[in-house]
Amino acid sequence: MKITPIGIWGGYPKANSATSSFLIEHEGFHCLMDCGSGVLSSLQNYLPLEKLDAVVISHYHADHIADIGSLQFSRIINFYLGKPAPALPIYGHDQDQENFDKLSYKEQTVGVAISEDDVVQIGPFEVSFCQTIHPVHCLAMRFSVGDQSMVLTADTEWRDELVDFSRGTDLLISEANLYEEHVGKAPGHMGGSEAGKLARLAGAKRLVLTHLPLHGDIEEIHGAARQNYDGPTEIAEVGKAYEIL
Ligand code: ZN
């Protein structure tokens, strides 16, 4: 499987960039993880929009869903241009019914409910979920094909259950939204040190940091992660292909 960062920022995007989102591909199947601000623009550098096969949403904060509406408009415009496509499935939890209902639009996209207990088949991927600690209901996600896997923590404070959920994964993409002086003080997010600790305790083979703050020097967050984890660690790089072979 191949994972491509589409955006790396938390909250809102820097100029000409996007909030945290990743494209995962295997055997010609393309799935987007989260679809926040700037994602639809960035994604087109790597994939024609009509080739998208599925979307999985971790939670309904704007920096994870802001571009769902634009994605739906892209489908309806193609429909009016005489290029209809099958309805695009958008997976998201239904603990927030109003936002879940917005995933479905004019038979162009259809919301599919997921929960922590589900294991769903999305194209070639077996996908499982783990509830996180965040001000709104949020699901971490694990994509597996055979014995290969990747985990995206989505947005979360430290939660012990994420260790087992991330156990042995080839690629842990962890949020690291906080500088160390804010760890434990800002609700719903982790610092680099906690991302590193998660990678170490889970035995992850590689750590990639995302959902980064726009202020300060994010290399400090990278350094904090490396203090707790000896494996390969890096800040997510938009457009870089992370291949799991
Ligand atoms: Zn959030």
Q: What is the domain-level CATH number for residue 195?
A: 3.60.15.10
| pTM greater than 0.75 | yes
Distance 158 CA to ligand 1 centre (A): 14
pLDDT band at 40 (very low <50, low <70, confident <90, very high): very high
Helix ranges (DSSP H) in 81-233? 97-101, 161-165, 192-202, 219-228
How many whole angstroms separate alpha carbon 209 and alpha carbon 218?
10
Tell me, in angstroms, the distance from the centre of ligand 1 to residue 80's CA. Answer: 34
State the number of CA atoms in the 13 A half-sphere of 244 facing the CB: 25
For residues 208 and 198, give the distance between their C-alpha atoms in angstroms, rounded to a whole number: 12
Task: Give, as residue ranges, everything with CB less than 5 Å from ion ligand 1.
Answer: 61, 155
Q: Is 96 helix (H, G, I), strand (E, B) or coil?
A: coil
Residue type, position 103, single letter? L
Centre of ligand 1 to C-alpha 75, Å, is: 26
Range of the domain at 20: 2-243
CA distances from 15 to 5, 137, 214 (A): 16, 29, 11
Distance 30 CA to ligand 1 centre (A): 24
The Å distance, Cα 52 to ligand 1 centre, comes to 24
**Reported confidence tier of residue 1, pLDDT bands at 50, 70, 90:** very high
Q: What is the pLDDT of residues 169-185, one digit of tens each?
A: 999 999 999 999 999 89
Q: How many domains in the chain?
A: 1
Largest CA-CA distance found in the chain, in angstroms, rounded? 55
Measured in angstroms, how far is the CA atom of residue 99 from the centroid of ligand 1? Answer: 14
